[in-house]
Structure 1
Amino acid sequence: MQISREKLATIGLTAGVSALLTVFIRNFISGEKKIKHRIAQRYGIADPQFERAMSQLLGPPIIGGNQVVPLQNGRQIFPAMLDAIDKAERTITFETFIYWSGEVADRFADLLAAKAKAGIKVHVLIDAVGCNCVNGQAIRKMVDAGVELELYHMTSFARVNHRTHRKLLVVDGKVGFTGGVGIADHWDGDATDPDHFRDTQYRVEGPVVAQMQAAFLDNWMKTRAVVLHGESYFPALQDAGNLHCQMFKSSPMEGSESARLMYLLSIAAAERSIQIGNAYFLPDDLTTQTLLESVERGVKVDVLLPGRTIDSPTERVASRHRLRRLLEGGVRVHEYQPTMYHCKCMMIDEHWTSVGSANFDNRSFRINDEANLNVIDPEFTAQEVEVFKRDLQQAREFTIQDWHQRSTTEKIAGSAAALLRSQL
């Protein structure tokens, strides 16, 4: 039986439309229900119930015995990461969103290649969208040296909108790094000029490193479908300090509301203070309401954001457009002046700290794969608050008067950009 050209064309068109519709639905429409009802305050951050909620509702559990060392800007961050890689004896697992060609990328590629040639098992996972040198010299050098390198969702058109934004480095299963840093020259130096970003990374030792390794393997298995296990990846870990920590991860394919819930529960438990520093701040209506309710309880809320120097002007105008309710409700917003502010931190009641890769926007809350290190400890959090306050000294407050006095161009651009906030 012969099929007419018209019928073949109809079948082809139908198949094409169905494929495009499938891609659109999988990338831009979630089948999961979203948390819409307010999170009531039933305990404070220091209440043992808060720690139980974070451990059991979100997982993995908060565990003790850890040491976390903050590293400020590329001047401290990159030497520490490269030193750990250089001292690797068995394995290196490394996941990042940004890998941009340049001197910093070459430094990492050279050392990772050298370790692979020396017989160390090196596994590198880079987001395909965040990497601007897929066919570049740095990538080829690592692959030629024997590095097992994967590009996350490189060929998955059906998952093109779902990126890994995690920043994880684990050496010998014993030493971990996480934070907001990208592997690019913009993060080098000491944030002394607009060409070099302000950021923080954290060096971690202790039992929670196994959770960091598991977060890496979560995406490694999705990409290469290989399970890395055994003593080389999960050695017995001794206590390295006294911090209680949790390496929290989220993904749109397995509980996309988890990151958002972590922030909502934390904010709802606040009793005295909330400090949020983030490169991209675009809270949804429920998160905005939860922040405003904390102010009504007498909580002092400060938010630190990038100023004019930002790598995503669209997100900035959308963020400013959405700030009115928060400003009118008593939230204080500050804009960092010297350079791009890329930190991602939240400190509550000088007792609870969350740092890592997650931005304060819909893309991190619902679309990207993210990983945050949560620390429950007054001394550590107090130190993080001091760093936050030092950054505030180089910021300008953005008031409700400033909001009203935005230029007409910015107001129009902000209104338009805010329509896209589900993807920002």
Structure 2
Amino acid sequence: MNRVPRLLLACLLSGTACIHRDYPQQLRVYDDPPGSGPRLSLALYQSVGVGLRPGHTVRLVQDERILETLEAEILQARESLHLLVSSWQPGEASERLLHALAGRQPGVVCRVLVDPLHSPDFEDTVRPRLVGLNCDVRDFRPFVGETVVFADERLEARNHRQLVIRDGRSGLTGGSGVGPSWGSGPTPTKAWRDTYVQVEGPAVRQLQQAFARDWLEAGGGLLPESAFPVLESQGEARAGFVLSTGSPSLSYSERMVQVLMAAARSRLWLTNACFVPTASTVDTLIRKAQEGVDVRILVPGLPPADMPGVLAAQRASYERLLENGVRVWEYRNAPLHARTLVVDDQLTAVGSNNLEANSSAMLEEGALVVEDAPLAQELATSFERDLTHAVEIRRDEWRQRGLFQRFTYQLPPSTTGCP
């Protein structure tokens, strides 16, 4: 392999891209919608085509409970299990899921869709065992043979969604796939920090449609009618799943985040594992802080071992944010994979969405937007608990950092590569 293909492969394996893109369109929502009710639903519908429908029960699922919940869903299934993960790596979590799948009820159809780019060793170690368990396993936009065709733009357009749908009636979505040490680790240091949300109600059909769309592209064919049962009201929460496909201009992920941030009146607490915000995102965060909104951002404080440029790119945005009243924390207790948003007292979003321009341009993403006061309170409590394991980046201290730190913290966002 000559030098140029090696460089391109290194770029792709290190993250989303090594190419900095200019985005002439950057959305800013100036007509602030309310943080709840029909007008908020209408604002989302106008922006991303998804409103918030009533009739849901929702449950926050975090860290080791994620794996426990997936095991329970697998064993509870009676008709079908659909798993879409951006990354499936061998390890304890994989072994437990394989064991649960081996014990599922007879006749339960198992479909698994994995993005091969971020699933090292899956092909040789995990896929054969899934196939042996009578699961239909497919790659999302697979590589062709032994050679990567770098002219193929699909190679950069990866799938970052995390979806688990049981019988078309229960769904989970969150920030990361199946990691080698997911949900375990010595106390007090965790091996993984992630947040999922489990939902029952009409929005499950939207999660199922997202899976069906990608499954069809991967050659899996159409799902049967039984995969889309009639879903009755399950609770009081209003919810909708926002599907986002990479776009060179404005993705639905960017549109959704702008609408939700604009809705904030008192609180805007954001956790994101890949925070390299566009100018429009920074502008909206600053505008909200200047309006008196309590704007807090929690981002990773531990760099991925194979992606040294991530922290530098992330920190390039701190200067303006800190100077204008936005508070920033770096989480130091474990690798952070959660992507969540808490707005005021009722509105939340949980999903896989990176706040980074290259990700928005190239990745398949998804988030469940929920209007529910108990879930918002639980997520806010979780956020405050996470802050006890984080270090606040204070404005005065940031101003006094050394010359070397100033240089390394100002690397351009194009150097990033987010998990």
What residue is the counterpart of 1:73 in the other structure? 63
Cα root mean square deviation, aligned: 2.8
CA distance 1:31–1:195, change in 2 (3 Å) = closer
Partners of 1:412 and 1:282 lie apart in 2 by 17
CA distance 1:321–1:192, change in 2 (3 Å) = farther
CA contact 2:242–2:367 (8 Å) conserved in 1: yes
Q: Which runs of 5+ in 1 are unaligned?
A: 1-15, 17-22
User: Alignment partner of 2:117: what SS?
Assistant: coil
Q: Is it true that 1:131 corresponds to 2:119 in the alignment?
A: yes
Larger RCO (CA under 8 A, 6+ residues apart) = 2
CA distance 1:37–1:161, change in 2 (3 Å) = closer
CA contact 1:93–1:170 (8 Å) conserved in 2: yes
Aligned residue type for 2:61: L
Q: Is it true that 1:39 corresponds to 2:34 in the alignment?
A: no
CA contact 1:181–1:187 (8 Å) conserved in 2: no
User: Alignment partner of 2:50: what SS?
Assistant: coil
| Cα-to-partner distance string for 1:341-391 (whole Å, 9 max, x where unaligned) | 221111111221011111222243222100101001233212211111111
Give, in angstroms, the shift of residue 37 of structure 1: 5.4
Give, in angstroms, the shift of residue 186 of structure 1: 2.6
Q: Is it true that 1:230 corresponds to 2:219 in the alignment?
A: no
What residue is the counterpart of 2:86 in the other structure? 97
Q: 1:149 aligns with which of 118, 137, 140?
A: 137
Q: 1:174 aligns with which of 169, 177, 189?
A: 169
CA contact 1:191–1:339 (8 Å) conserved in 2: no
CA contact 1:250–1:256 (8 Å) conserved in 2: no
What residue is the counterpart of 2:8 in the other structure? none
**Number of paired residues?**
398
User: Alignment partner of 2:348: what SS?
Assistant: strand
Partners of 1:34 and 1:114 lie apart in 2 by 52
Q: 1:343 aligns with which of 316, 322, 338?
A: 338
Q: Which runs of 5+ in 2 are unaligned?
A: 6-11
Aligned residue type for 1:187: W
Partners of 2:344 and 2:185 lie apart in 1 by 29
Q: Is it true that 1:50 corresponds to 2:45 in the alignment?
A: no
Point out the structure with max Rg over C-alpha. 1
Aligned residue type for 1:268: A
Say which is worse superposed, 325-334 or 149-158, in terms of deviation.
149-158
TM-score of the superposed pair, with normalisation by structure 1: 0.86
User: Alignment partner of 1:347: what SS?
Assistant: strand
Partners of 2:66 and 2:418 lie apart in 1 by 30
Q: Is it true that 1:64 corresponds to 2:54 in the alignment?
A: yes
| Cα-to-partner distance string for 1:316-343 (whole Å, 9 max, x where unaligned) | 1111122110110100001122222221
Partners of 1:308 and 1:32 lie apart in 2 by 28
Give the fraction of aligned pairs with identical amino acids, expressed as a percent.
27
User: Alignment partner of 2:60: what SS?
Assistant: strand
Bigger proportion of residues as helix:
1
Aligned residue type for 2:42: R
TM-score of the superposed pair, with normalisation by structure 2: 0.87
CA distance 1:254–1:36, change in 2 (3 Å) = closer
Give, in angstroms, the shift of residue 82 of structure 1: 0.8
Q: Is it true that 1:323 corresponds to 2:312 in the alignment?
A: no
Partners of 1:346 and 1:403 lie apart in 2 by 25
